[in-house]
Structure 1
Amino acid sequence: MPVSSKRSASPSSTPRRANRSPALQVLARGGYISSGVLHLLLGWLAIRLAVGSPSGSPDQQGALRQLAAAPGGAVLLWLTAAGFAALALWQLTETLVGVPGAESSKQARERIKAGGKAVLYGALAAMAVGVATGAAGGGSEEGLTADVLHMTAGRWLVGAVGLAVVVGGVVHVVSGWRKSFVDDLQGTGGGAVGQAVVRLGQVGYVAKGVALAVVGGLFVAAAVTADPQKAGGLDDALRTIRDQPFGTVLLVVTGVGIAAYGVYSFARARYARM
């Protein structure tokens, strides 16, 4: 019987083709635009909270609800969800086949980072769909943390999650300070990266890192004290910043920084390495 000359596709061939798909690359760049819109709204909500006139919960879901209330909000929400979903799929392909341009010695670390981003963007896409369909909701951070704390080794699990988020925040701050995020902008993006984009990235990464570190700190506090009421999301983190000495100023600066990250995300849609 003649042996077929065709080789069966390798397990990684499908994600590799998806990773190289121009259509997916364009859609994934749209995901960075979605991220920009979300962070601009988060920055605005944080500033509103600082000046004492909150107009919604200063977290991702609150920002998406603000977007829904805008003219054409339903369409904008679905476009935002599509952008995040495409970006999640892009990060998933990098998790499976490797990150282009990364050194072989760093591939394992880069794949783990890509996997984490895939989960994050997938969650944001699901949240946007939930707001668009009116199905958004779910348990609060305190309720979910209480459930975990009652599990065997629950305090250790909550503490580990909190520490991981703190580390993520520190990584953001260091990346902004050292401008190491610029490496993500050099590659297949269009044109040279200007200093304005770099400065926006620096401010945005530092501000976002501070907010993440506070969120992680709240979960660590909940684990140490076994008190789920101490846990919280981004809205609780921003209120914690507001309640510190000179908290109003600190929160305004944080809000401006988060908004700067949003503008930087628009630039990343053009310059990001794909």
Structure 2
Amino acid sequence: MKKELKDAADAVEDASNSRALVIAARAGFAVSGVLHLLIGYVAIQLAFGKGGQADQAGAVAQLASQPQGLLLLWAGFAACVALALWQTSNAVFDYGQLEAKKKVGKKLSAAGKAVVFAVMALTFAASASGNSKNSGQSTSDFTVSIMKAPGGPFLLVVIGAAVAVVGIVFVVLGCKASFKKDLRLPASGTGRSVITGLGVVGYVAEGVALFLVGLLFIIATVSARPQESTGLDGGLKALREQPYGVYMLTAVGVGLICYGLYLIVKAKFARM
């Protein structure tokens, strides 16, 4: 029985390292990059008073409105599924050579990324099948339902704190350029500088956006107004209402575009 389980695990690991899955996973990075480009563009529009939904669902909706939009949606779905599977494989099979503490951290990080890409895949599928829903309203409904459950407010604060901490981690990774160890950078000095610059600005902007989302979760829970927890779109719109918010939101939008460009570049240079 143990031998059969080991053979099955080996077969799964071999499949996860197949050339086809790796190519599809790289496409997943590119798809995520395109979504961030669209989110950044909408964020800049919001800064100047134009409407739009600055989150993944809004970006997917923009893709759906393009010629051949349905094909683009299903292609995005397939790419994100492949990347989710690849990250799941990393969480299960990889990092065995690392010391225990680092191994756990790497595996948890890969598992978290797998969940993110799985959610992105579901967003593509929902939009392609015509079942998409305003993500801000979905987030609000989610927080309201948890708020009513036993221990719900505490759980929401924990979720908000976790998202905010992830945002801080992104900022630190950006400032330290730690993301470079996940890349096979080109030999050209100019190319390396451009990719590093995109990564630094992009990681910091993504971190700021995530921190705002987490902060909104906490504030809405503490003030007993869970309907105000409206995800990334709500966080960016709340940023615009602050002093100098137009400039800060524009900067975040530009940063998200940089992060999108970085992810597109990562599709080619990522260590897989």
TM-score bracket relative to the smaller structure: over 0.9
Aligned residue in 2 for 1:3: none
- Which residue in the other structure is 2:32 paired with? 35
Match status 1:51 vs 2:48: yes
Q: C-alpha displacement at 1:135, in angstroms?
A: 1.1
How far is the alpha carbon of 1:8 from its aligned partner? Answer: 3.2
Choose between structure 1 and 2: higher helix proportion.
Answer: 2
Q: CA deviation at 1:261?
A: 0.4
Q: Which amino acid aligns with 1:28?
A: A
Taking structure 1 as reference, are residues 157 and 86 closer, same or farther at Cα in structure 2, changes over 3 Å only? same
* 1:115 counterpart residue number: 111
Counterpart position of 1:4: none
Q: CA deviation at 1:18?
A: 2.3
The aligned residue for residue 233 of structure 2 is 235
| SS of equivalent residue, structure 1 residue 244 | coil
| CA distance in structure 2 between the partners assigned to 1:102 and 1:233 by the alignment | 35
Q: Distance in 2 between matches of 1:159 and 1:267?
A: 35
Asked if the contact 1:18/1:93 (under 8 Å) is kept, the reply is: no
Name 2:89's counterpart in structure 1: 93
Find the aligned partners of 2:90 and 2:172 in 1 and give their Cα distance.
Answer: 24
What's the offset of the Cα at 1:140? 2.1
Mapped pair 1:74 → 2:67: no
Counterpart of 2:199 in 1: which secondary structure?
Answer: helix
What is the alpha-carbon distance in structure 2 between the residues aligned to residue 102 and residue 46 of structure 1? 40
CA distance in 1, matches of 2:187, 2:100: 27
Superposed displacement of residue 131, structure 1: 0.7
Tell me the matched-pair count.
Answer: 265
Residue 77 of structure 1 and its aligned partner are, at CA, apart by: 1.3
Q: Which of 208, 211, 214 does residue 209 from structure 2 map onto?
A: 211
**What displacement does 1:71 show?**
1.8
Please, what is the CA RMSD of the aligned residues? 1.8
Distance, in Å, in 2 between the alignment partners of 1:191 and 1:84 is: 29
Q: Tell me the TM-score normalized by structure 1.
A: 0.91
Distance 1:22 1:233, change over 3 A: same
Match of 1:12, SS state, is helix
**Alignment partner, residue 65 of structure 1:** 61
1:159-200 Cα deviation digits (max 9, x unpaired): 0100000010000000000000111113xx876661100100
CA contact (8 A) 2:43 2:249 kept: yes
**Cα distance in 1, alignment partners of residues 94 and 70 from structure 2:** 35
User: Is 1:165 matched with 2:163?
Assistant: yes
Greater shift in the superposed pair: 219-228 or 80-89: 219-228
Identity %: 40
Gaps of 5+ in 2: none
Specify the code of the residue in structure 1 equivalent to 2:150: T
Specify every segment of 5 or more residues in structure 1 that has no aligned partner in the other structure, as ranges.
Answer: 1-6
